[in-house]
């Protein structure tokens, strides 16, 4: 007798086991359950929506290929998030042309907007982050959003620690410049 159970009633562990067996309904459920949260992670690393979709889809391919390595008892969301972040970094490595400048030059940059972020929506901030060059955007996301240390970021991106620090300072400065432009011209999100 063939019958189906609505997959909303299936536990997370049962869904993972079904994904290991490569059952399409379980893969669809896992994808749908985590799409929104992981898309927001991918958008922070991507330059635009299309890149974010590429990152997300590549991430889920990796997730389904490696679902057998998931350790029961750990957070599925955290495991998936780590894969999305690592896929974003891999995407950055493939697409980037590294461009670094001296740390001394970056340290001379000063902030002129103390509280511009508090007046902006999350969509406006996301648009501003997406306008950062890939090297700045990756460091900014890993340090500010994900909470990684400069040493860890440098190892992930294959750069030295001083380059990582310099790119963070430059990212913050450029982001402030972009946000100031948005504040002065709320209808035009022009790239700086």
**Residue 115's pLDDT is what?**
52
Q: Which pLDDT score, from 0 to 100, does residue 101 have?
A: 43
Domain extent listing, the chain: 9-95, 103-184
- Please check the confidence at residue 127 and state whether its pLDDT lies above 90: no
Q: Mean pLDDT, the chain, as a whole number?
A: 81
CATH architecture of 9-95: Orthogonal Bundle (1.10)
CATH class of residue range 103-184: mainly alpha
Q: State if pTM tops 0.85.
A: no
Whole-number pLDDT of residue 119: 63
Q: Identify which has the larger pLDDT, 124 or 102.
A: 124
Choose the weakest-confidence range: 52-61, 91-100, 157-166, 171-180.
91-100
Quote the pLDDT of residue 84.
Answer: 95
**Residue 6 to residue 74: CA distance in whole angstroms:** 25
Q: Both tokens of residue 21?
A: 């067996």
Pairwise CA distance, residues 30 & 54, whole Å: 18
Q: Do 88 and 51 contact (CB within 8 A), yes or no?
A: no
Tell me the mean pLDDT in the region 98-118.
47
């Amino acid at each position: 007798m063939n019958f189906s159970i609505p997959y909303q009633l299936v536990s997370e562990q049962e869904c993972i086991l079904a994904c290991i067996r490569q059952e399409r309904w379980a893969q669809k459920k896992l994808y749908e359950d985590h799409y929104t949260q992981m898309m927001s992670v991918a958008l922070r690393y991507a330059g635009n929506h299309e890149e974010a979709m590429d990152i997300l889809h590549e991430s889920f391919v990796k997730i389904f290929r490696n679902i057998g390595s998931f350790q029961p008892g750990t957070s599925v969301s955290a495991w998936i998030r780590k894969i999305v972040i690592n896929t974003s970094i891999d995407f950055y490595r493939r697409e980037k042309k590294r461009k670094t400048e001296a740390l001394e030059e970056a340290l001379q940059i000063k902030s002129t907007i103390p509280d511009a972020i508090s007046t902006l929506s999350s969509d406006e901030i996301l648009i501003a982050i997406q306008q950062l060059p890939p090297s700045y955007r990756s460091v900014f996301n890993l340090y500010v959003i994900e909470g990684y240390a400069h040493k860890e970021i440098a190892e992930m991106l294959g750069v030295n620690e001083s380059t990582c620090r310099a790119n963070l300072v430059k990212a913050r400065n450029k982001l402030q410049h972009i946000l100031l432009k948005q504040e002065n011209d709320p209808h035009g999100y022009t790239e700086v």
